[in-house]
Amino acid sequence: MNFYKQKQKWKYVLFLVAIIISALSIYLIDDLDKELEKSINSLSQSIETLKQNEVTLKNEESSNIKNFAKAYQTLNNMTLDDEGDYSWAIDLIQQNKTIPVIRVDDECYDILDWKNIEIPKDIDEDYDKKDQYIRAELETMKKVGDSILIDIWGVKQKLYYKNSAILDQTKKMHGFTLEKQQLADKILKKMRWYPYYQLSFIFLFAILSYFIFNAAKRSEQNQVWAGMAKETAHQIGTPLSSLMAWLELLKQNPENESMTVEMDKDLKRLETITERFSKIGSKPKLNDENITEIIENSVSYMEKRFSKNIQFIQNISIESRKVKLNRVLLIWVIENICKNAADAMKGDGKITINCTENDDKIQMYISDTGTGIDKSIIKSIFMPGITSKNRGWGLGLSLSKRIIEDYHKGKLFVQNSNEEDGTTFCISLPKS
């Protein structure tokens, strides 16, 4: 298999592989997103349950502390003469084993008693330290909640309280779980965008790599082309000089006149070929040339050397006579295209050259009445080695494209090609 000819197909294959890898990456990330989303939903349910438990527990403690204050006030306002069942009050006070409470006077100066406050063992026996600890707890209670006012024998007192350890733990669990959910949400959002970031970086890297390697390849090709052209010009030039010397010797004999005339034509042709290769072996010099004259001279030359059954038609409608170009190389391009047209028509048909202009370009259309270019190679017709003929190197159009686009900063492309209308090439050159 010719890898070069299949280059375009390999591009599609590699592009397809890249799409498959990208799709697989997106699928795996999406699957991971779904799993993470399930975990987040489960976490959300847990958060909702903790929130409900927190609210329920808070309401229960709020109700219990109010009942506790009522029971405490009732029991402390009892007299020996009071009759009735106050066991409910005793039960309410005894049932409070979790809610820390402190009872103080109306001015919060004296601490009367407390309940459910865990005193550290190292200060339990030290009255002053214990008093400081209780007062610190009191200050904490003042910050977190309101007091409940109670009346003991006409004396106003205040009952301060705070959340139980169970409620505090529930709130901590709720807050911790909520933080984890928020973190998981952030991770999920980032993960959903990750494949697109990944693909963007891959795409940018691929584009950058393509341009770098393409530039390196073109630079290498240019060096190969230039080296080959220089070597070809050199190899032809050496025997050509000898032949010209021998021709001068033959011209001294009048009997050889008819022979030397034809030999002189052939040698001039070889000189032209050598000059062409010499010019593409280095950056050619562009001059202001009369493009109309170049087209007419090229047609005149080809009419004498092509089949008599091939008719040349010229339609030149331009005002700009001077165009910055290299005469030798442009003639070579025109001859290459016309030679391919003659081969496509099998020596019988019409070659039409139309030349037009616009504000900044001169466009030359070379059309034939041949069978057109095979659709399988039309997109790669300018690649080296690609040809529709049974014989040939497939270098003519490739050289022509390089001459027009690299040296003249123009464009060379197939305008149209089909079996009915033949093929039309377009040469677009910038004006001087």
Give CA separation, 25 vs 19, 202, 204, in Å: 10, 12, 17
* CA 43 – CA 47 distance, rounded (Å): 6
CB atoms within 10 A of CB 375: 9
Taking only the tens place, the pLDDT of each residue in 361-388 is 899 999 999 888 888 788 878 876 666 6
Q: What beta strand segments (E) does 358-421 contain?
A: 361-368, 411-418
* Distance, CA of 282 to CA of 406 (rounded, Å): 12
| Whole-number Å distance between alpha carbons of 303 and 205 | 53
Give the gyration radius of the chain's Cα atoms. 50
Burial (CB count within 10 angstroms: exposed 0-12, middle 13-18, buried 19+), residue 361: middle
Which regions in the chain score pLDDT beneath 70?
A: 1-8, 10-11, 80-83, 218-240, 242, 246-247, 258, 262, 265-266, 269, 275-282, 320-321, 384-394, 432
What local confidence, expressed as pLDDT, does residue 281 receive? Answer: 56
Residues in contact with 170: Cβ distance below 8 Å, sequence separation at least 6, in sequence order? 50, 53, 54, 57
Structure tokens belonging to residue 43? 């976490």
Q: What is d(CA 41, CA 34) in angstroms, rounded to the nearest whole number?
A: 10
pLDDT of residue 326: 86
How far apart (Å, rounded) are the C-alpha atoms in residues 141 and 136? 9
* pLDDT score, position 365: 94
Token pair for residue 34? 């779904």
Q: Is the pTM of this model over 0.85?
A: no
Tens digits of residue pLDDT in 240-291:
676 777 667 777 777 777 677 767 766 776 777 776 666 665 677 888 888 8
Instruction: Out of 3.40.630.30, 3.30.470.20, 3.40.605.10, 3.30.565.10, select the CATH number for domain 286-430.
Output: 3.30.565.10
For the range 78-86, what are the long-range contacts, defined as Cβ-Cβ under 8 Å and sequence gap of 24 or more? Answer: none
| Euclidean distance between CA atoms 16 and 330, whole angstroms | 41
- Kindly list the domain boundaries of the chain, sorted by start residue: 100-162, 286-430
Across the strands, what pairs with 102?
114, 160
pLDDT value of residue 233:
61
Sequential DSSP letters for 267-331: HHHHHHHHHHHHHHTSPPPPEEEEHHHHHHHHHHHHHHHS-TTEEEEEEE--S--EEEE-HHHHH
pLDDT value of position 1:
46
